[in-house]
Structure 1
Amino acid sequence: MEKIGIYCRVSSKSQEDDGTSIDYQLKKGNEISKKLGMNPIIYNEGGKSSWDSNINTRIELVRLLNNVESKKIKSVWVWNMDRMGRNSQSWYSILKILVGYRVNLYVGDSLKPYNFSNPTDRLVTNILSLITTYDNELRRIRMIFGKMETLKRGRTFIGGTIPFGYDVDESKNLIPNSESRMIGKMFQMYEDGKSTTDIQVMLNQSSHFPRRSKKGWNLG
């Protein structure tokens, strides 16, 4: 049975919430592969941004492209074109391989692939990729300006993860909490000549955890 690579990726929590979660992408990819009568090979990138032009930071994408080059798979499915790349430079690196090995690219619910041996499909894919990149760059610019306006209005919390040592009040401003004394202790240790490793050990021995992990503090 012919194999098809199912590539899944999200880059933000909002994408997990708006109907394009990893689970949803896996479900749709498996449905498409079943309809096509192909054996799905899963490449689950999890939460990983695609803004970086260096595609080597995305391990599963690299594995997929390696399998294309070794001719283990000739078909690939993604929920949306921007799952593979939002950055023009990275997308053309990916496209070069897909075109070179004449991969059939299935997108979304469509059972009709983009055939890269067909010049019309190559043109359409390039146009769609440019539109997607343009739209994402505009969205990113709007987000940056939105955060700048929030700061200008005097609000110190502009979204995302609340920093360690702070809470957010009703006016969306950051206010120190009981953890803030640990921040003072960290600065004092650094001023006293302690290393970052010493500070890490101190934090791991405390009852406080990082915002995004319960596995302890790291140096990076």
Structure 2
Amino acid sequence: MIGIYARVSTEEQAKRGFSLKEQIRSCREKAGQKDGILEYVDEGLSGEFLNRPNLTKLREDLKEGIITKVICLDPDRLSRKLMNQLIVTEEIEKRAELIFVNGEYKKTPEGMLFYQMRGAIAEFEKAKITERMSRGRREKAQQGKVVRNFQIYGYDYDKESEQLVINEYEARIVKMIFELYTNPNNNFKGVNGIAKFLTAQGIPTKKRVEHWHRQVVKQILMNRVYIGEFYQNRWNTEGMISNRYNNDTSKKIKMTVRPTEEWILTPSPLIIEQSQFDYAQQLLKQGKRRWSGQSKYKYLLSGLLRCVDCGNTMTGRRQKNWGEYHFIYTDEKNTSGAKHKGCRNRIRTDQIDNQVWDKLESWLRCPESLFEAEGNLKDSLEYEKNEIIRLNEELKKNKKAKSRLLKFMTFNEDIDVQEFRTMLVELQNKELEIIKAINELEEEISFQDINKSNETLEAAMDYFFSKEQLLNFEEKQNLIRMVVKEIQVTKCGSVKIFTY
């Protein structure tokens, strides 16, 4: 039996007009017969990888002895990479005769040299095409054009002008998401609550999926495109095309962020005001602490308190004392895996709640006193700075451990390689986690250093004076969070309030 192999990628079809029918016709003419021919065709698949369905089927049929001759238009149809091309060629020639329509290659040193040169040229041509396309997209982005349809919720893509245009229906949903997040109520709290609400309302996502995931909502809240800043060339997707051919999830290539200096800013139509977006980012920074769990009882300062002595956050708790129940804030952590158990710092909720609310009310009535209090704003970042120092020390220890492990693996042959590889992967993952934590803390410090939102304060004042004595618990809590970043408490009961 004769096997004919043909392949064309989507890129080649679009750019050069390669035709599968033409490849098959040429191969059949080369075969010189009509019967006894099996066709193996891969359409729309890159020649960069060997894991293609019909190429795999051809290789299996060769092993079983079904195919005795293979005809292909050109070596680069087998693969665009020289190494893969040589592997497939050798595999075929061990079991069958390999014939190319465009050129015969004799099994002589000269013939093999020419064959390898042809493969190297094909690989170089593929790399050049990729590089030209990437450069072309970057140049287009620098001209202020949107290079493709990025499927951004709230916008449509205009192919003629190559620009983002507002989708009025989706834009209303975006505004609603920001409004629900920055002005929460009892019905839907936090990112997860908004996602459930959108799903319950039957509002479709950009991909027309009925279910909203919390991560999709969070991405919308973090996307600067809604304030007119759309960044192209931000994500590095190099090599990710191989993921579709790789079934091993541990070996899949992940998308990474390029350095900020490589990002290309393209103006986009405004949907959200800057002040509301900035406030949403403030809330997101505290998201884990605010919505980490729903307590049976409500606490006015939930998610804002920290113990000065041990650095733990302080959470609300009901405590029985001499037969009476009292509500307190404490830094004690009973959860499994807590880094620090706390130093038993406790304070009555009514004591500190009233103190903080009275102070906030005086600030809102006299903003000048608030600005004077902000002289200690940088001190509120002391925990973050100390945590960065601790994490850097932990990172050094982890790197030393990894270095010792690598040396041991190098100079000892009689070891269980798989066991040590597992240990190495664990150390590598831990290093990535530490680096991520450091980056998040540095972003927090940077955010606080550059961010001073007078507009947020003005919004808080307007909100306060519009309600005055009619504020309920949730409204008071929301107002405190608009202004207060953190409240630090010492064991002796002294309180220091830090604002945005």
Give your verdict on TM over 0.5: yes
**Residue correspondence of structure 1 range 51-130 to structure 2 within 5 A:** 51-52=48-49, 55-56=50-51, 58-101=52-95, 103-108=97-102, 113-114=104-105, 117-130=107-120
* Structure 2 CA distance for aligned equivalents of residues 43 and 177 of structure 1: 45
SS at match of 1:192: helix
Query: 1:135 corresponds to which letter in structure 2?
Result: E
* Structure 1 CA distance for aligned equivalents of residues 115 and 27 of structure 2: 20
Query: What residue ranges of structure 1 are gaps of 5+ in the alignment?
Result: 207-220
* Structure 1 CA distance for aligned equivalents of residues 70 and 86 of structure 2: 16
**Residue by residue, what CA displacement relative to the aligned partner does 1:110-158 show, whole Å, maximum 9, x if unpaired?**
6xx445x5444333221111111111111211111111111111111x2
**Residue by residue, what CA displacement relative to the aligned partner does 1:74-97 show, whole Å, maximum 9, x if unpaired?**
322222322111123322321231
* Structure 2 CA distance for aligned equivalents of residues 182 and 13 of structure 1: 37
Query: 2:18 corresponds to which letter in structure 1?
Result: T
Query: More displaced, 81-90 or 173-182?
Result: 173-182
Aligned length: 189
TM-score (norm 2): 0.33
Aligned to 1:168: 158
Judging by fraction of residues, say which structure has more helix.
Answer: 2
Evaluate the alpha carbon distance shift between residue 6 and residue 140 of structure 1 in structure 2; reply closer, same or farther with a 3 A threshold.
same
Q: Does 1:136 align with 2:135?
A: no
Query: 1:191 corresponds to which letter in structure 2?
Result: V
Query: What residue ranges of structure 2 are gaps of 5+ in the alignment?
Result: 179-187, 212-500
C-alpha RMSD of the superposition: 3.5
Evaluate the alpha carbon distance shift between residue 122 and residue 39 of structure 1 in structure 2; reply closer, same or farther with a 3 A threshold.
farther
Kindly indicate whether the alpha-carbon contact (under 8 Å) linking 1:43 and 1:64 is maintained by their aligned counterparts in 2.
yes
Query: 2:156 corresponds to which letter in structure 1?
Result: Y
Evaluate the alpha carbon distance shift between residue 146 and residue 16 of structure 1 in structure 2; reply closer, same or farther with a 3 A threshold.
closer
Kindly indicate whether the alpha-carbon contact (under 8 Å) linking 2:9 and 2:46 is maintained by their aligned counterparts in 1.
yes
Aligned to 1:8: 6
1:41 CA drift (Å): 0.8
Higher relative contact order (CA 8 A, sep 6+): 1
TM-score (norm 1): 0.68
* Structure 1 CA distance for aligned equivalents of residues 77 and 40 of structure 2: 12
Query: More displaced, 18-27 or 133-142?
Result: 18-27
Aligned to 1:151: 141
Identity of aligned residues (%): 22
- Report which of the two structures shows the higher radius of gyration computed on alpha carbons: 2
